[in-house]
Structure 1
């Protein structure tokens, strides 16, 4: 099935501003509440289940010679008809 982008935002922010966004999402997750993303006239609300899949990636992209772009990606994934089943490949630690 092709990917459908429901919301997208990409802007530079200070580390402190980004931390505030993460805190806001963490507070919503901890409270079991839906998360609303909005920017300008664009908005979407997502309601993650109790046990979504949490994916963390560190990547380097770019040409073999020359400067590369580094990224850390955090992603929550779940099926629309999520059953709450869990799977684990080991405990994640972020230090």
Structure 2
């Protein structure tokens, strides 16, 4: 099944600004609200179910120049109309 990108943005921001965005998402999830993402002329609203799958991934990508790029990714995933996932994650 082909992947359709509904929204994408990438920009350099301060750690504090990123934390503010993540707090907003956390507050919306905690309140059972939909999440609206907006940047430039694009916008999408998603309403995660009460128990989506939550993936956390840390990666190191090596380049030919020898400079490694590190990343941490947080992903919520669910099938439309499905609301039943299990799993335990701890972040310290």
Scaled to the shorter chain, the TM-score interval is over 0.9
RMSD (Å), alpha carbons: 1.3
* Alignment partner, residue 81 of structure 2: 81
TM-superposed CA distance for 1:86, in Å, is 2.0
Which runs of no fewer than 5 residues in structure 1 stay unpaired?
none
Distance in 2 of aligned mates of 1:65 and 1:7 = 31
Count of residues paired in the alignment: 92
Superposition misfits of 4+ residues, deviation over 4 angstroms: none
- Encode CA deviations 1:33-64: one digit per residue, 9 max, x unaligned: 00000011100000000000000000001237
What are the equivalent positions in structure 2 for 1:13-28 lying under 5 Å apart? 13-28=13-28
TM-score (norm. length: structure 2): 0.94
User: TM-score if structure 1 supplies the norm length?
Assistant: 0.91
The alignment status of 1:92 with 2:86, answered yes or no, reads: no
1:46 aligned onto 2:46: yes
Alpha-carbon distance between aligned partners in 2 of 1:63 and 1:69, rounded to the nearest angstrom: 8
Question: Equivalents in 2 of 1:65, 1:9: separation in Å?
Answer: 26
Once the two structures are TM-superposed, the CA of residue 65 in structure 1 deviates from its matched residue by 6.8
Give 1:33-72 correspondences, 5 Å limit: 33-63=33-63, 66-72=66-72
